[in-house]
Amino acid sequence: MTDTNRQIQLASRPVGAVKPDNWAHVTVPAAAPADGEFAGRTRVISLDPAMRGWVDDRPSYIPPVGLGDVMRAASVVEVTSSQHPDYRPGDFVVGAFGVQEYVVSNGRGARKIDAAAASPATYLGALGAPGMTAYFGLLDIGALAEGETVVVSGAAGAVGTMVGQIAKVRGARVIGIAGGAAKCGLLTDELGFDAAIDYRAGGVRKALRSHAPNGIDVYFDNVGGEILDAALANLALRARVVICGAISQYNNETPVQGPSNYLSLLVRRARMEGFVVFDYASRYAEAERDITGWIADGRIRVQEHVVTGTVDDFPATLDMLYRGENTGKLVLELV
């Protein structure tokens, strides 16, 4: 156990893209666990596109991170000492512990993981919020039926790779939209997608028409902007548009670009629906059981992008998400 704890705190609220001076890199004394608490060392920190929204001071599905607070993040910690009956040194625990080296927790909102069954990164990805998001977004909000055509944007990301693979398991035809030939190759050659569209090459609307000539039954949107409009222009009758995120819009200094083609919802008798994965917490076990089984039998391949460093590398690692530099689940593993 060390005496100090390095933290990344929110120093100021960004306008547009997050900049280095929005963060404070702070060293504070490390707390000791009181009765009913455990202490742990952070091993792996999750980087999520939603983080950009969490640092804005406006009403959302979760309160904003306060100025001067440790940046909110899911992470996996290894218990180093414990005054809590359920946790012992050497246990691995996942929770919303924030961007810091050391953690003291009473265990609320946390749970022990089986580090032999899957890596800490997997508990933050395929078996974490991204996996749950893909599972419930696709199957519950998207109401996917066998034989349907699914399109997912941000397809090479943490959620997108899972959406596409779960859709394949469920008997769908799957088209991914991603940036660059390398990501597109990964989708079709390694993750089993039926087709991939490189949005950087342009012509997404025509490419969708070509790959989904009978229209899109489920469009799972992680990006918003022009790609959402291209998908809306290609909906099948009674399509479901799942609004998961809008990474293309998060760093805007101008208003969000609304979907100009939203009247397709009328013409195609379609619906567009948003959701927040936390609402499904009571059903996570169901999703975890399915996903674990699909990983075990090789039908789902976990795709993780591990950056190694210190908590001071958090800001630069987060920027990778918005530049599209990650493939699969992006995590920061502390050395």
Query: Per CB under 8 A, which of residues 150..179 are in contact with a second copy?
Result: none
d(CA 230, CA 72): 33
Kindly tell me the burial class for residue 275, based on how many C-beta atoms sit within 10 Å of its own C-beta (0-12, 13-18, 19 or more): middle
271 part of the interface to a second copy, by CB under 8 A = yes
251 part of the interface to a second copy, by CB under 8 A = no
**Which one, of 33, 31, 149, 103, lies nearest residue 311 by Cα?**
103
Min separation Cβ 258 and a second copy, Å: 3
259 part of the interface to a second copy, by CB under 8 A = yes
Query: Per CB under 8 A, which of residues 61..100 are in contact with a second copy?
Result: 61
281 part of the interface to a second copy, by CB under 8 A = no
DSSP 126: T
User: Which one of the spans 35-43, 57-65, 74-82, 295-303 is the region binding a second copy (CB under 8 A)?
Assistant: 57-65
CB-based contact 295:117 (threshold 8 Å) = no
Quick one: 266 or 335, whose CB is closer to a second copy? 266
Vertex 49, ends 310 and 65: CA angle to 5°? 75
34 part of the interface to a second copy, by CB under 8 A = no
54 part of the interface to a second copy, by CB under 8 A = no
- The residues facing 58 across adjacent strands are none
Provide the 10 A C-beta neighbour count for residue 24. Answer: 15
d(CA 129, CA 268): 31
21 part of the interface to a second copy, by CB under 8 A = no
Q: For residue 89, give both structure tokens.
A: 């040194």
Min separation Cβ 181 and a second copy, Å: 30
262 part of the interface to a second copy, by CB under 8 A = yes
134 part of the interface to a second copy, by CB under 8 A = no
CB-based contact 141:242 (threshold 8 Å) = yes
279 part of the interface to a second copy, by CB under 8 A = yes
266 part of the interface to a second copy, by CB under 8 A = yes
Q: For residue 131, give both structure tokens.
A: 């996996």
217 part of the interface to a second copy, by CB under 8 A = no
Residue ranges that bind a second copy, judged by CB under 8 A: 59-61, 224, 229, 243-246, 249, 255-276, 279
